Every structure is written in C-alpha cells, then in structure tokens.
Structure 1
Amino acid sequence: MPTIVEFRAYRVALHRGRRPESALVCLTAEDGTVGWGESALLDGETWNDLARRLGPALPGLDWERPEDLGGLAALGGPRATAAVEIAAWDLWGRAHQVPVAHALGGTRTSVVTGARIPCQQHLDGLPSLVNRYIGSGQTRVTLEVRPGWDVEPLRVVRQAYPALALQIDGACSYTDSPEHLTALETLDDYGLVAIERPFAELAPHAVLQRSVHAAVAPDIGDLDALDAAISMDAGRALSLRVSRLGGLTTARSAHDRAYAAGWDVWCGGSGVFGIGKAASVALASLPGCTLPSDITEFVGGPEYLTPPLRAHGGVVAVPLTQPGLGHDIDGPRLIRLATDQLHFATR
C-alpha cells in the first residue's frame, strides 16, 4: 500500500458557526490517491485528538490494509478514530480499485432505509411528519422518546398508521425503576420492532428483554460490551454506529458477532456531508443488516458527493462499480466551508 504522505482535517458546518458540525479527514498517499472520512463533531475532544495525536501519527505510517490501523484507537476517541479509519478504507479501496462494500464483505446491492423523528414540542404535527417520510418510501420510522414523552406520541402515530413498522429510541434516558420499566412494557404493546438504547447501563436491558416482544437494542460502544450483552441476553438487535464504534473495522466485527448470535442489525450514519453516510451504506451491505438503516436523514444544503447519496422509494443503492466509498467527493467546496483545519505531512 502506498505510504500516507499527507493528513488534512477540516472542521466544517453547513452554516458557519452553527451545528451540526463534522470533522472531515483527507488522507493522501505518495502516488496521489486520496481518501476521505467523516464523523460528527459533537465535542472538542474529537478535534483535539485529530490535532494532537492522530494527525501527527499518520504521515509515513507503514500499512497494508485498513485493519492494520487498529492501534490508532489508543491515540484518540472513537469519533476521531472513525473519521481517520473511514478515510483509510476509502483510500485503500481507491488505490486497489475495490469498492469498500466488497472489501468489507458486503453482499447486498441495495439497502432499505428508515427515518428517525426527534422528540417534538407538540403532538399535533406528528402524524403529518410521519406521513411525509412514508410518502418518500420509508418503511420504518423510529421515534425518539423520553420519560413523559413516550406513550402519547406512540399512541398517536400507531392510531394513524396501524401497519407501520415502528421503533423507539430512548437515548439512555430511562432507569430500571419500576415506573420506567412499566412504561417501556406499555410501549411494547404498540407492536414495536425494536426498543433502542433505553438504559445507560447494560444489566436492565436483560430484564426488559425478558418482558417485551420487541428486540431490545442496547447502546454498544465496543466489542467487549457487545460480547457481554450477548452473554447476558441483554438484547436481540444491534444498531451499528460507525463513529460510536471507532470505525468500519470494529463495526464489521460487531456485525459478525451479532449476526452469529442471531441478532438483527441495522446501521446509522454520522455527519452531515454524506461521507460518513456513504461509509454506513457500505457497512449496511453486510448480510446481517436485516433491518432498515438510518443513513439518509435529510439535513439540508447542497450535495457534496457524485453521484448523490439519496434513497429512492426507501432504498439506497450500494455503489459496486466505483472504488472506495463509491462517490466522487467535492473537496474544494467542502474546504471552503472549513472554520478550522489541520495539516501534517512527511518531510
């Protein structure tokens, strides 16, 4: 594999000075091949990791495949590591003229997509919002819920759409108190596909899974946590979040273990410029990704990928004829949006 001679990172927002922001990483090999990665920039630590540890470590690094970069996890948090590792997979795929989906072991030519709806201020507009996603072809909707905002919104949506596949995401806001467990069991009565991230701790997921029909999906941040969840029967579904897991290599391993355990799997995208979502499309082509994936959420603004990453009728194609992530990336336009940037190169 050609040596990486240049590392660049860009702090970019769709609207200058406003969230959401992404960290974009661009790696250049000695033969001129370029690979791009992206991760949502949710805190200052991610950018600090890129600036102080990961960026200086990349130029001149000897590697053959992206899997060889596992040691980078010791230099930064999962989001920073994921942005770098996605760029490495893209670079490797372009250098070898191989789609990342194939390199990961993907078998699907298309991925079914779903929509996520954040907690709303009012119930009145919720059915029409869900209808908009259904009209665009989405076959599954995930409602974000919190204690006190759960039963009523779910009841309203289920009443309006009796046959719609529904999931909920608790964002770790529930506890194992009897009141919260009863509330989650009540939500299960609405015919849910999955209950995602109800608790911050792993043990209550096992208690909940024994009492509900829906698949429980704990928040998994590393392979040890996944192994523990499987051994405890603390769920039956896994949301693969590339940035949460520190990159495509670990995410693929998590998929393999969950798939072998009989769990359902789906993928979530990260970032707002399409590069992170393109990585999630490649990951969602793996055979165990049986549930609709959250990879095409609309965030507004122009497209920075060619061809654009878009769902048609609730399905997004897996790019299998182009190398790397399968999209040409408009680097100059992205760079013009940068509010900060890093540059490290071999001497």
Structure 2
Amino acid sequence: MSSSRDDIPMNRKDMDESEEPFLPIPVQSRGEKQHPLPLIAAVVSFYFIISLSVVFLNKIILSGASDFPFALFVTWYQLVVALGLLLVWASLGKSYKMFSIIPPYEFNIAIAKKVAPLTFVYVGMLVLNNLCLKYVEVTFYQVARSLSINFTILFTFVILGKKTSPAALVACGIVFMGFLIGSYGELNFSWAGVVYGVGSSAFVALYGIYVQKTLAAVDNNQWKLLHYNTTLAIIFLSPLLILSGELSEIIETSEVIYTSYFWILMTITGVTGFGINIAMFLQVKYTSALTNTISGTAKSCVQTVLAAMIFKNDISALNGLGILLALVGSGYYGWVRYQERISK
C-alpha cells in the first residue's frame, strides 16, 4: 500500500502471486531513498512471515486441523476483523503519529456506489481464493492460481486496449506451461480446486484493472478504498452467507465453533490478513521495485518448500516441474515489468 507505478496504481497481485489480495499496492518511483540494510531485511522478513501465515493459517482452518470447510464464513469473519482493525487504527491515528498512515474512517453512500463494482470483484476474488485453498495442497496452490498473469495480459488488452511486450508474453507462456504440467502431475488433483484457482486468478486480474478505474472516486487514497471495499464486502457477503446455507449448517453440524481455539485461530488469521496491508506498505516504502519483485518470487518458493515439510505433501516429478515453471515464469514476468518501468 503506497504510491505509484508509472503514475498508475497497481494491485498487490502484480507483486506477489500467492496470498490473499486486500489492497492496491503501487510501486515507488525512481529516485527512491536508500535505507539501511538491517531495516530492509527486517521489513522483508516481516512481509515473509505475515504473507506465509495468511496462506498456512487459512489452509489449517479450511481443510487442516480445524477442518472447517465453510469458505464464505471464513472470508466474512476475516473481513469483519479487518474492518475492526481499520477502525481502531484510524482512531489511534488521531492521537499517535505512527498510526496516521490510515485516515479517519469514512463511508459516503455516493462514493460507495462508485466503489461497489470493484467490491463485487473483490468479494469474488477473496472467496474463490479461499475455496481454491480448501481443495488443493499448499504445494500446488501457487500453480492453481498462477494464471493471474495470463488473465492480466488478456483483460488489459480486451478492456483497456493495451498491448503487451513480447517478453511478457514469453513469461505468460512459461506460466501457462507450468500450470498445465503441474496440474497433470499433481498427485492429489482436484478439479474443483483448479477451477476455483483459475477463477480466482481471473478475478485478481480484473481487480487490478477496476482499481485503476476506482481510485479516483476516493481521492486516489488506497486506505480510503480499503475502508469502502471492506465495509461493502461485509454487506455483500452477509446475505450470500445466509442464502448459501453455510450459516445454518455451521450452527447445526460444526462442533469446532464451540472451542476457544477455533475463534483464536480465526481471529489471528484475520489479523494477519490485515497485516498484509501493513507489510506491503512497509516493503514498498523501504525497499525498491526490484526488491519487491524478488521478494514476491522468493516468498513463493519458500511457501512451496515449507508446505511440503509442514503438510507432508507428496510432489511428483511433473508436479515439481510445473511448480518450477510457474515460479520461473512469474519471476521473469516481474523482472520484465520492472525493466519496462525503469526504462520509461
């Protein structure tokens, strides 16, 4: 969460392919101030810890130790936690300078109507992301959601009429090959997980485009956009949660909701989800665009290795090749985009 990428706000996904997207993250402009190496290391480490925590905690809740397969409710609750933290942080910002990055909470109906189309995409992105994580192994999660780059290129051309460089198209091809090979080689393959992953990738790409169209409605302030997005997402998800039958099913069949462990875990996951916004803000502020690109790709590699160790996921040779190609393609795409930015 910060300022500009060639004066066009970018979505957080342009920097990282893995964790749950919350806020548009612009990249610093050229002439960035050089910061001490220990500070940069601390910021990147904080981003790694928070980002990995979001993925692993969601996996534990949805299909791990908690075995709570209600993705709509999980998403809704985490948004409620995020909104609560936004309100508290904004309130503290009135008295303490260190919290002043988030402006006072606001919700104007006229502005909310302009933000609503973006929020529909936002909700679809979050829900499909959690549904994908529910059905696939964390080692395959990166592959299942790797096509966001491909959809970004497609939608940028179809909706905005902008062409993509040949180098970026090569990166797109590498990612697509990784997706195909990784899917074919996945030992615990799930059509549902792949479909949700592809859907999530499409919504992530759409989200980046709609952010560009919507930021002007909130004075180009990404924190204000988070106010509206989070509030509207809770409003939109509430009737869907009831109509889907998840709420009644949870009350009737789930025993885990009566344990303090479950609610502590859910709340911690909501806090880490909100923490992604702070981690991204700090990483963009105190590092460079190149560091952001490298950090996102490196985090995906660490995520895959840790998933194999923690969840004991078996990885076939083809699956491993697919994961490698998806990571290489994503990293190469990030490098190409970085080179294109600094050459302008």
TM-score by length of 1: 0.25
Higher relative contact order, chain-length normalized (CA < 8 Å, sep 6+): 2
Q: Counting strand residues as a fraction of each chain, which structure ranks higher?
A: 1
TM-score by length of 2: 0.25
Q: Counting helix residues as a fraction of each chain, which structure ranks higher?
A: 2
